[in-house]
């Protein structure tokens, strides 16, 4: 009887700690496998950088211009600073007029943390997966999008701290986008040379002659 009471007391003491240990603050979307991977990435990120990464994946129907920063404060009691919180809300209304839905937000615990990652890259890593035209169900895309977005966030924070993550995912989308950017830049330079620079040089040469 005494042993049972001791076990119950220990469980009562440890349970709140175990519940607060999670880096996924709300989950209406993720599949169990994705949740496990996110927890592993968040644990490694915290261990190597001292920065906590949190995820809120919600199916709530937020109205247009809903304040996600204020919304994130509901979960502050379950966080440890410094942190960066990734919020993914696929049912949040972007504009009523367009009917478009789906918002991604990154909420840091301080402005200094924003220098450790590129907000656009993280959001793109999340959204690109969701908007891709493939055979995956929308539910799978949401899961993959959150997973890829958090992986990108963790990688960038770690890189800013000069450490390397071993649990994050390879970002094929980022590589493709980088290649496309190079192609666009090269194309722009060619257009500039053909239609502007070369004609000017020819006119200058002919003028001298």
- pLDDT, tens digit, for every residue of 37-93? 999 999 999 999 999 999 999 999 999 999 999 999 999 999 999 999 999 999 999
Average pLDDT over residues 188-193: 75
136: which 2 tokens? 């995956």
What are the sequence ranges of the domains in the chain?
Answer: 18-170, 171-209
Q: Are 53 and 46 in contact (CB under 8 A)?
A: yes
- How far apart, in whole angstroms, are the C-alpha atoms of residue 117 and residue 113? 8
**CATH of the domain spanning 18-170, picked from 3.30.1020.10, 3.10.310.50, 2.70.98.10, 3.90.550.10:** 3.10.310.50
Give the H or E element holding residue 20: helix 2-20
């Amino acid at each position: 009887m005494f042993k049972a009471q001791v076990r119950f007391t220990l469980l009562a003491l440890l349970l709140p700690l175990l519940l607060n240990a999670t880096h996924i603050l709300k989950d209406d979307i993720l599949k169990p496998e994705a949740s496990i991977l996110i927890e592993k990435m968040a644990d490694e990120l915290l261990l190597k950088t001292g920065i906590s990464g949190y995820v809120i994946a919600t199916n709530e129907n937020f109205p247009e211009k809903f304040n996600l920063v204020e919304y994130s404060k509901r979960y502050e009691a379950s966080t440890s600073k410094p942190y960066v919180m990734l919020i993914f809300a696929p049912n949040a209304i972007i504009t009523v007029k367009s009917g478009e839905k789906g918002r991604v937000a990154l909420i840091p615990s301080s402005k200094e943390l924003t220098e450790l990652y590129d907000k656009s890259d993280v959001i793109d890593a999340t959204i690109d997966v969701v908007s891709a035209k493939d055979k995956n169900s929308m539910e799978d895309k949401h899961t993959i999008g959150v997973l890829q977005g958090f992986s990108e966030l963790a990688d960038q924070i770690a890189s800013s701290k000069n450490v390397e993550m071993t649990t994050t995912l390879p970002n094929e989308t980022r590589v493709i986008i980088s290649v496309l950017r190079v192609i666009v830049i090269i194309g722009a330079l060619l257009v500039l040379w053909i239609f502007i620079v070369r004609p000017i040089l020819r006119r200058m040469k002919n003028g001298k002659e």
